[in-house]
Each structure stands twice: as structure tokens, then as C-alpha cells.
Amino acid sequence: MGRGSARSRSQLDHHPIPRNEISHCRIHFLRRRAEEATLYVLSEHGAARYNAIKKELGITNMMLTNTLRDLEEFGLVNRIQYNEVPPRVEYSLTDNGYAIIPALKEFEKWGQRLLDSKEGDGADNGADADDGAIRPGV
């Protein structure tokens, strides 16, 4: 094996982000997507029980449990436990949770415009000149 081959292998083995960090980033990304989807479900249904949210989203118990805990910690979701037999727990959005929904919808619109512009001929960024977007000077 020549020196060039060893160098190529070394370059292939080196990645700017360690493999365990890449896995962490993937999990983090998926959790963020689950958080956004959970916020949408709760904004549409009001209060909802765990299994109803899980059925709507189609995610694992661990993913939903972590998502709901994070959203509760961020102050976006309320967890209400009723003293009943069998126990009943419902989740709902806080005022801050409802307040973030318009921002998420705007972000979704922006993402759709970006996708649409990539599907076009590439000569335009897909946004109208008078859409209120801030653009760098020419």
C-alpha cells in the first residue's frame, strides 16, 4: 500500500464531527421535529392524553416522553394529572406554547418557499421582491 493510499484512508477516517456527535445531532434533530409536531397536535386538539398524542404522531414512547418533558421544561406545555382511578394525565399548551405556533407556521412557509425555489430553474430565490424579507444590498 503506497503512501497516498494511507493518506486517503486517514482522510476518510477523519470527520470534522466525531461519529458519536453525529448520532447525537441526528437524535437532536429528530427530537426537535417531534417537539414541533407535538406543539401542532396540541394546538389543534387542545388538551390531549398521552396515547392520543402518540397515536397521532406515530413515534415511540421514549421519544414522546422525552419530547413532552422538554416542552414542559421549556414552559410550552402543561401536564395536568387528575386524581382519578385509573390515573388520567392530559397535556395542553401554555400561553407561551400557543404564542410560538404562528412563528412555527411562518418558518414552515419559509421552508416551503425555499423548497419551491430549489425545484425551479435556480434563477430566482422563490421570494417576491415585496415579501418583507431582508436581503443583502447589491
Q: How confident is the prediction for the chain on average, in pLDDT?
A: 77
Decide the pairing of beta strands 48-49 and 88-93. Answer: antiparallel
**Confidence label for 108 from pLDDT (cuts 50, 70 and 90):** confident
Domains of the chain: 16-119 (1.10.10.10)
Q: Average of pLDDT values for 106-123?
A: 78
Does the pTM exceed 0.75? no
Tell whether the model's pLDDT for residue 56 goes beyond 80: yes
Handedness of CA 16, 20, 26, 30 (dihedral sign): negative
Q: How would you label 28-37 residue by residue, b for 16+ Cβ within 10 Å and e otherwise?
A: eeeeeebbbb
**Confidence label for 75 from pLDDT (cuts 50, 70 and 90):** very high
β-partners of residue 90 are: 49, 80
Q: Average of pLDDT values for 8-28?
A: 51
